[in-house]
Amino acid sequence: MNLIEMENVSKSYGKQNVLDNISLNLPQGHVMGLLGQNGAGKTTLLKLCLGLLKADSGNIQVMDAPAWELTPAIKEQLGYVAQKSDTLHWMGVRQLLDYTGAFYRKWDNTKVTALMHRWQLDPKSKVSDLSEGQKQRLAIIQAIGHNPKLLILDEPVASLDPVLRREFIRELIDINIENNTSVLFSTHILSDLERVASDIAILRQGHICCQGSLDDIKERYVRLHLRSNSPLPRELPVQGLLHVEYSAHHLRALAENPDMEVISALEKQLNATAHIEPLGLDDIFLELHK
């Protein structure tokens, strides 16, 4: 079952086309990281899924209902952390969490209290007196206090220090395992994403240029090195070579699903040595944005 299904979705602001013919599925229990440079359309995509924006065209289903027409029963199963906190700053921390919990039948006050203590939030502090990192911690607690079925996060750890980022990742893993919660989140911190995401979608200029499981993407994209004592030809019969860099005796390229039999044949033909270099997600992301 897919908790989110997007099919041929487009969204523009005036003459600016932000998302163009996007299709994306998030299965139940999966954690998907949404990557892209600033302005790629990540926040717009997340807001479309929440029904905060309406698509110009295409279809978006969230828990089998149109995203623009989500019922209160479905909204009660959603958790959301926005990129910027915009909450009731005049309230106290505990007061705000009690107020938030009043909207949810399954609010877990024991869990909320434990998270406040673990994340060093003084329940008597005013929200307006909190640092940006503390406000982000508070927003995360608001989003997960009712153990949502679907959690949507827009740069949820941008203001957190490395220790608290690890705490948050641990909490995210626990939510996913204990409640089979699906998570869709955008982040620029790829090392954190690799710890928790099962799936990846990369947005580039309004299009999804890469989508799949994290393991499959790491297997799909590698860096090919080909070295020879003789000059290498400028054209090689290898499918899927991207961003090729040549010197007289060395070829370096991003390769998508390279045919190893073809590469072995080239080694013999050109008296060359091939080396396949595995890539981390950060390298793949950078290569796909060249």
In a domain, 212, yes or no: no
Last residue of a domain, which of 153, 176, 205?
A: 205
pTM (2 d.p.) = 0.88
In a domain, 132, yes or no: yes
In a domain, 167, yes or no: yes
| Tens-digit pLDDT profile for residues 2-21 | 899 999 999 999 888 999 99
246 burial via Cβ count (<10 Å: 0-12, 13-18, 19+): middle
| Tens-digit pLDDT profile for residues 242-255 | 888 888 789 888 99
Q: 11 and 56, same structural domain? A: yes
In 3-state terms, what secondary structure has residue 174?
helix
- φ and ψ at 145, to 5 degrees? -65, -20
For residue 120, what are the domain limits?
Answer: 2-205
| Tens-digit pLDDT profile for residues 87-131 | 778 889 999 999 999 999 999 999 999 999 988 899 999 999 988
Distance CA 172, CA 174 (A): 5
CATH number of the domain at 61, please.
Answer: 3.40.50.300
Q: 125 and 55, same structural domain? A: yes
Q: Above 90 in pLDDT, residue 46?
A: yes
Residue 188: DSSP 8-state: S
123 — alpha (psi -120 to 50), left (phi > 0) or beta? alpha
